[in-house]
A and B are shown apart, each in its own frame.
Chain A
């Protein structure tokens, strides 16, 4: 997004993902995070969570991907993300990642864009909530 086209109240282009156990396994292989809560269905079934859950960093990866699409190289060089993982994402969940621009501050030739960001499942439950900022 060009700076001139960014205005408070604007929404970022949404991303929708259906999470599968295969996606979770692929992420475990890629990241090296084989915590059994993510990849061992028998183990996870016996925990209070009752089944496997996606890595929080996988869902956050979807969010960062959305922000990279929105802000391009600015996100890579001066992006900041602060989030809470509220509810686990589970296999077969449809996750919607969204963001909304809250403020665009311009001072002395530099600009900072602040957004609220969230990931919700198909029941509308918050998976991740937080804030992203990016400097231009």
Chain B
């Protein structure tokens, strides 16, 4: 994750000044706030995302605004570093509301909260609520991600 452009540090995505200890499943409870993340959606990062999603068509793309799902993807990755998710965790559902266009170069802060934790037999499911705000303070995205953790 070292390629990500951080604001004022070389810390991995999703971590502020003090590196959070990733929370284990056992420690999670509904309502729990996760360590916030902060990242800069600079042109290099956005270009990488666009190339990954659109392939050759995006090679020379120089957009004014960040693809909205990129904001969600980076926020999710950031929150992932606040959680100790086992290898093999998969995405079951996603809701996302895009609230305003985000110019390339924006600094985004993401916040997450455990909305639901379900453990039934071998099934372990986690729903995280997600908010992303631009540096100016305006909310740019909200969403919910549901993850299924391997037994």
User: Do these two chains really belong together in a complex?
Assistant: yes
Interface residues of A (CB under 8 A from B): 17, 23, 26-27, 29-37, 40, 43, 47, 49, 53, 55-58, 60-62, 64-65, 68, 73, 75-85, 88
**Contact sample, A vs B, 7 pairs, CB 8 Å cutoff:** A33-B80, A35-B88, A53-B90, A61-B67, A64-B69, A81-B96, A85-B93
Contact status B97-A80, CB under 8 Å: yes
Which of A61, A75, A79, A85 makes the CB contact (< 8 A) with B91? Answer: A85
Chain A residues with CB below 8 A from B72, complex form: 57
**Count of B interface residues, CB-CB < 8 Å:** 42
- Judge if B118 is at the interface, Cβ distance under 8 Å: no
**Closest CB in chain B relative to A24 CB, distance in Å:** 9
Interface residues of B (CB under 8 A from A): 1, 3-4, 12-13, 45, 48-49, 51-55, 65, 67-70, 72-74, 76-77, 80, 85, 87-102, 150
Total of A-B residue pairs, C-beta within 8 Å: 121
Closest to A44 in B: B88
Contact status A27-B88, CB under 8 Å: no
Contact status B54-A64, CB under 8 Å: no
Which of A47, A61, A79 makes the CB contact (< 8 A) with B98? Answer: A79
Contact A57/B69 with A29-B52, A43-B87 known, Cβ cut-off 8 Å = yes
Chain A residues with CB below 8 A from B94, complex form: 56-57, 60, 81-83, 85
Contact status A31-B49, CB under 8 Å: yes
Contact A81/B95 with A35-B89, A65-B54 known, Cβ cut-off 8 Å = yes
Contact status A37-B90, CB under 8 Å: yes
Closest to A31 in B: B73
Contact A31/B74 with A60-B94, A61-B67 known, Cβ cut-off 8 Å = yes
Contact status A56-B90, CB under 8 Å: yes
Contact status A84-B77, CB under 8 Å: no
